[in-house]
Amino acid sequence: MLSNSSTTTLKSIVREGLKNLQEQGVRSVPVDDQARGILHSWSVSPPAAPSRGEPRELESPEQKIDYLRRRAANWSAARRLGSLREKMVFSVGDVHARLVLVGEAPGYDEERLGEPFVGRAGQKLNEILRAMGLRREQIYITNICKFRPSMGANQGTANRPPTPEEIAACLPLVLAELRAIRPVCVACLGATAAHGLLGGEGSVGSLRGIWHQLADNLPVRVTYHPSYLLRNESLSARRAVWEDMLAVMEKLELPISDKQRSYFLPK
């Protein structure tokens, strides 16, 4: 693990090197999936190169997602780290969805059932979706890391967030999913997903409230993870998440009633 100052130096060397190449007319540089993920997490755009994720002959989102599901099961960038558990938990939902939700990583329940957000945080997420007038089947739910992070032999039901390296290893899969689905917008649930997808740092409090743009002008909203609401049931926390979801509903041009607009406002 590099110190913050070494990482900063390394970032500027890489940025400068890529800029020099660009000035010399180089338009593409071969980078493997892991390097691509790390560059993305540093907010450095790797020069365009054909992605290993999506062969051109796969045309439909169904085909592309199916292909990615199979690739993910043997994703060597993740396996190589040795810090993620064996079972891959792929995304769930509609491959034609207009909204993609990005969570952190599978936990105990998700690993057991092989589906994202099926534990307590998942129930909270379902509640939020119901309040929006949506069902899980109508959206696409993915995790920035597709394997439950390991905590050793006696892990039991405990979970931990994925490290930046674990996220970087899985990120090419998530970016390929987004390219396959081409949603209207994305919502990152929690800081881990936001940092992984958007790069950079900062608390959810500092990242929420605006639309971020991913490549291809894909709008991304950041909100608190549902498990935050399990720990903090205050009206202000619930309202904050709800305001983010109202912004998402507006972006999706979903109908919003006066009653929905006023959820979780102080009486």
Binding site for ligand URA (CB under 6 A): 103-107, 110, 116-117, 121, 143
**Of the two residues 145 and 249, which places its CB atom closer to ligand URA in the complex?**
145
**Of the two residues 94 and 104, which places its CB atom closer to ligand URA in the complex?**
104
**Of the two residues 39 and 221, which places its CB atom closer to ligand URA in the complex?**
221
Shortest reach from residue 149's CB to ligand URA, in Å: 11
> What is the SS3 assignment for the chain?
CCCHHHHHHHHHHHHHHHHHHHHCCCCCCCCCHHHHHHHHHCCCCCCCCCCCCCCCCCCCHHHHHHHHHHHHHCCHHHHHHCCEEEEECCCEECCCCCEEEEECCCCHHHHHHCCCCCCHHHHHHHHHHHHCCCCHHHCEEEECCCEEECCCCCCCCCCCCCCHHHHHHHHHHHHHHHHHHCCCEEEEECHHHHHHHHCCCCCHHHHCCCCEEEHHHEEEEEECCHHHHHHCCCHHHHHHHHHHHHHHHHHHCCCCCHHHHCCCCCC
**Of the two residues 54 and 165, which places its CB atom closer to ligand URA in the complex?**
165
Shortest reach from residue 125's CB to ligand URA, in Å: 8
Residue nearest to ligand URA (CB): 103
